[in-house]
């Protein structure tokens, strides 16, 4: 199962009970160098994969709890943050960002980032989401990723999701953004940046 979607289903279940999403089984995290990251003030950095993400003010970090539920040698939760505490159990859409990495070797035949969207889209649509945009090239600064967009309505709310994927150092690194509007999702995507050869961080806009 794609970890980005598995985490998405776990995290959305924590704050939108009307979606009826499953809980993840417990497991013990296994440290690995690609998961080594640091948080400086409100900017999350991952040197192994060469990206950073500006965390919105006031958001809550649940990365550690997500790692305890899913981490392994081949799948790694890098960042999992929410607009408000998911344990509060409030109805509606609690915006979130989940960044994860899975070993390409977990998917026989996976050659490009677009290939990753095969199992991801299948799982997403099985949970009631609809494909709003099929996978397409998407630039974040000078780096090109592959992006696909989804949406799901329930209980008077609509959940929008954008997932960006890139293949780096033998891993499929996925960036999943959730929001109540498309504009909100795009605003979150704009907070993602990649490091260029000159160590300059470039954002999507």
Q: For the chain, how many structural domains are there in total?
A: 1
Q: How far apart (Å, rounded) are the C-alpha atoms in residues 202 and 205?
A: 8
User: Pick from 193, 149, 177, 195: which is nearest to 204 by CA?
Assistant: 193
Assigned token pair, 87: 């344990």
User: Pick from 23, 2, 11, 10: which is nearest to 59 by CA?
Assistant: 11
Query: How much is the pLDDT for 147?
Result: 98
**CATH label of the domain that carries residue 199:** 3.40.1000.10
* Beta bridge partner(s), residue 146: 137, 165
Q: How far apart (Å, rounded) are the C-alpha atoms in residues 100 and 41?
A: 21
Q: What is the span of the domain harbouring residue 189?
A: 3-203
- Which 3 state secondary structure label does DSSP give 129? coil
User: Pick from 67, 94, 86: which is nearest to 78 by CA?
Assistant: 67
For the stretch 100-143, pLDDT in tens is 999 999 888 999 999 999 999 998 899 889 999 999 999 999 99
Q: pLDDT below 70 — which residues of the chain?
A: 1-37, 69-73, 89-91, 196-205
């Amino acid at each position: 199962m794609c970890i980005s979607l598995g985490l998405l289903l776990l995290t959305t279940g924590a704050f939108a009970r009307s979606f009826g999403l499953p809980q993840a089984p417990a497991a013990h995290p296994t440290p690995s160098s690609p998961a080594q990251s640091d948080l400086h003030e409100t900017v999350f950095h991952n040197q192994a994969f060469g990206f950073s993400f500006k965390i919105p003010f006031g958001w809550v970090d649940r990365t550690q709890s997500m790692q305890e539920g899913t981490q392994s040698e081949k799948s790694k939760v890098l960042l999992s943050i929410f607009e408000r505490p998911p344990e509060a159990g409030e109805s509606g859409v609690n915006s979130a960002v989940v960044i994860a990495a899975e070993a390409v070797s977990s998917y026989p035949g996976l050659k490009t980032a677009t290939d990753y969207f095969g199992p991801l889209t299948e799982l997403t649509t099985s949970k009631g989401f609809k494909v709003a945009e099929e996978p397409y090239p998407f630039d974040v600064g000078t780096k090109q990723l592959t992006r696909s967009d989804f949406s799901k309505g329930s209980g008077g709310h609509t959940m929008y999701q954008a997932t960006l994927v890139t293949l780096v150092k033998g891993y499929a690194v996925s960036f999943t953004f959730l929001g109540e509007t498309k504009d909100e999702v795009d605003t979150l995507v704009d907070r993602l940046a990649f490091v260029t050869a000159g160590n300059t961080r470039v954002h999507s806009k």
